[in-house]
A and B are shown apart, each in its own frame.
Chain A
Amino acid sequence: MNRRKAITLLAGTMAGLTAAPAFAQGNLFDALSKGLTKEGSKERKTLEGIGTILRGAQGLDYESELALGESLALEGFQRYGMPVDDEHVQRFVNLMGKAVAANSTRPDIPYHFVVVQSPLMNAFSCPGGIVFLSSALVKALKTEAQLAAILSHEVGHVAAKHAVETIQQAQLLQGVTQITTANMDNEEGKKFKKAVSGMKETLFDTGLSHQMEFEADRLSMQTAYRTGYSPKAMYEVLEILQKHQSGATVKGSWYGTHPPLKQRLAKLQIELEKYPDWKELRTSTGRLGWYQKRIK
């Protein structure tokens, strides 16, 4: 195949594939290059290059994302504590978490939620949908809608792939679209460990970018509202955090890893105007207190 024909083919394929996911497009370009070009030819390199770029734009596949998330979750238990030993509490949080996740911008993956025994006011999410909440944060809440707001905020981070994006920006996983190593000593394994370490530092200590946190706040209001919870609850959570701020531990908590509360409150006040009927949505159901009492 000459260069001109390859380019014509490329243009035709692009026109027919604009609606397909980037990952599928990338794989198709690889298949095309193998079927229609000679090994080592310029045309094959061109088509294979496009395939790599398209998959790169899509990012990691779900299995690889989850593998990173599971590894980070192991670090999460080490850093913040073990799960609260009460199946009623864990089930309640998972029921609510799944309920809000169904209405999130990424409703097609299984999410898992865990309350860990920790005195820090904290919540974070691992890639692939594993969400941590500290017992102190759950106990500080006043309404069920506030818990739904925190869960929606964390689901928002997963949906927008903020943690993965952060390590990709830091070039810790540049060009990697699929992780398939069970050997942490080879090159790919070393990259994997570096990526987990980078995420650990970001999520446990330095925090995601302010822009990502503002986006998760906005998504929290949207997701909670669509589920049927008051979107104002996210604003109320930040007010509760403000009240507890004096004397609270900053390192490793929401105080240390999130933008200043004043900034977030100001943005959320404006965001709330999108929901003129927010007062008609559910805030309390009378269930939360029973579960909070079960947490030591």
Chain B
Amino acid sequence: MFVVLIAGTALAARYVWVASEGTELRSSPKGGSQIVGKLKLDERLSVQDKSGRWYKVKNDSGRSGWVYRGKISSTKPERDASQGAPGLFGSLDSDIESGRASTDRAIRGLSPEAEAYAKSTGTPESYQKALDSVMERKITRDDVREFLQHGKIGEYAQ
């Protein structure tokens, strides 16, 4: 379980870990600043400096930049990866590994088990169509970034 990073604790902790999907390193402590790198989930970072809700960090490969506090944890996340999951944005993610896209829901349709379940229980087709429309809605990483920017939320707060 994560421990939320409360202001002031990270420098003492020295190391922090990437706790959010799609965490980006920026050139300065502002949401609108240049992206200088992308960080992997659970990656270890050493803390160099702090400014407001931003931490200057360096990863083990020597890349450094600023990261928003909500994206990191002061303890190493303990979790099992979701075996076979295509990631938060599925095949719509430009960072996706090509092999993982094969399990994307938008490509493969309803699971055979759910289809068999619907048939076996006499579920009306309208419910299957409703579920299809829910599962096929396309939201990209850029869409979410724009949503947060527009609402001035989190790293985009001023």
Contact = CB atoms under 8 A, between A and B. Distances in A.
Genuine A/B complex: yes
Interface of A: 21-23, 58, 61-64, 66-68, 70-71, 73-75, 77-78, 82-83, 90-91, 94-96, 98-99, 101-103, 105-114, 130, 144, 179, 181-185, 189, 192-193, 196, 222, 225-229, 274-277, 281-282, 285, 287
A102 B144 contact: yes
Most B C-beta atoms less than 10 A away, residue of A82, A99, A179: A99
Nearest to A97: B139
Contacts of A83: 130, 133-134
B112 A182 contact: yes
Given A112-B135, A114-B134, A105 B126 contact: no
Contacts of B21: 101-103, 107-108
> Number of contact residues on B: which range applies?
35 or more
B103 interface: yes
B116 interface: yes
A106 B70 CA distance: 15
Interface string B125-140: 0111011011101010
B137 A227 contact: no
Contacts of B83: 21, 23, 58, 61-62
B12 interface: no
B88 A108 contact: yes
In the A-B complex, the 10 residue pairs with the smallest Cβ-Cβ separation, listed nearest first, are: A228-B154, A107-B21, A70-B114, A184-B120, A67-B113, A226-B70, A285-B151, A182-B112, A67-B111, A95-B147
Contacts of B13: none
B86 A110 contact: yes
- Of the listed residues A58, A109, A229, the one surrounded by the most CB atoms of chain B closer than 10 A to its CB is A109
A281 to B, nearest CB: 8
B117 A73 contact: no
B82 interface: yes
25 contacts: A23-B83, A61-B84, A66-B111, A67-B112, A70-B113, A70-B114, A71-B117, A74-B118, A74-B128, A90-B134, A91-B137, A99-B144, A102-B144, A105-B1, A108-B87, A108-B88, A111-B88, A112-B134, A182-B113, A185-B120, A222-B2, A227-B148, A228-B155, A229-B154, A285-B151
B11 interface: no
A179 to B, nearest CB: 6
A78 B110 CA distance: 17
Contacts of A74: 114, 117-118, 121, 123, 127-128, 131
Nearest to B112: A182
A182 B137 CA distance: 25
Nearest to B147: A95
B113 A179 contact: yes
A30 B82 CA distance: 20
Nearest to B155: A228
Nearest to A99: B144
Given A71-B117, A110-B86, A95 B152 contact: no
B88 A109 contact: yes
A73 B19 CA distance: 29
B30 to A, nearest CB: 14
Given A77-B131, A222-B2, A71 B82 contact: no
A98 B88 contact: yes
B58 interface: no
A184 B122 CA distance: 12
